[in-house]
């Protein structure tokens, strides 16, 4: 059985989304089984088309926020969704949606980017992640 890396994607800011997608890419390349559990703001950011206007920056990084976004644009860095899609192309990466957030916001699976494969509860996630590393972002 391959090693696992699970990411709890709680934040919906560009900085955290990039971090999550880049770590997921590296882990996928190194043949780990990657699960991203998108919850709360992380799930908001996965609503269809949200990435196009998402310029949100984490509060603790806001001093650098404008500069960060500007550099990403100027250097034409791929956006986090593209990075995540290429991680899925080369390896085993699954994105799962948190059932609670879906219920609270009345979101359906079809309202989310197609990279999200299914809706799961927290117990499912914890159980699946239990024999691997977990990163909270």
Partner 1 sequence: MDGIKITKESDARGSFCPGPLMEMIRLVRSAKVGDVVAVISGDEGSKKDIPAWIQKARYELVGMEEVTAGATRILCRKNH
Name the residue nearer to partner 1 (CB basis): 80 or 125. Answer: 80
Q: Based on C-alpha coordinates, what's the Rg of the chain?
A: 14
* Site for partner 1, rule CB under 8 A: 22, 25-26, 29-31, 75-78, 83, 86-87, 89-90
Name the residue nearer to partner 1 (CB basis): 28 or 46. Answer: 28
Q: Report, in Å, the least distance between residue 104 CB and partner 1.
A: 34
Q: Report, in Å, the least distance between residue 76 CB and partner 1.
A: 8
Name the residue nearer to partner 1 (CB basis): 25 or 101. Answer: 25
Q: Report, in Å, the least distance between residue 126 CB and partner 1.
A: 28
Name the residue nearer to partner 1 (CB basis): 15 or 112. Answer: 15
Check residue 42 and report its DSSP letter.
H
Q: Report, in Å, the least distance between residue 1 CB and partner 1.
A: 16
C-beta separation of 97 from 118 below 8 A: yes
Write phi, then psi, for 30 (nearest 5 degrees).
-85, 25
Nearest to 69 by CA among 59, 79, 60: 79
List CB contacts of 5: < 8 A, sequence separation 6 or more.
Answer: 23, 24, 27, 32, 33, 34, 35, 132, 133, 135
How far apart CA 106 and CA 47 sit, in angstroms, is 12
């Amino acid at each position: 059985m391959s090693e696992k890396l699970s990411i709890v994607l709680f934040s919906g800011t560009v900085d955290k989304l990039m971090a999550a997608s880049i770590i997921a890419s590296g882990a996928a390349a190194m043949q780990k089984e990657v699960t991203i559990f998108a919850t709360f703001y992380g799930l908001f950011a996965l609503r269809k088309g949200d990435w196009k206007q998402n310029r949100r920056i984490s509060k603790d990084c806001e001093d650098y926020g404008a500069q960060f976004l500007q550099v990403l644009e100027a250097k034409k860095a791929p956006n986090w969704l593209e990075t995540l899609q290429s991680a899925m192309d080369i390896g085993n990466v699954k994105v799962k949606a948190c059932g609670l957030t879906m219920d609270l916001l009345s979101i359906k699976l079809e309202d989310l980017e197609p990279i999200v494969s299914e809706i799961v509860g927290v117990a499912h996630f914890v159980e699946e992640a239990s024999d691997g590393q977990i990163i909270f972002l």
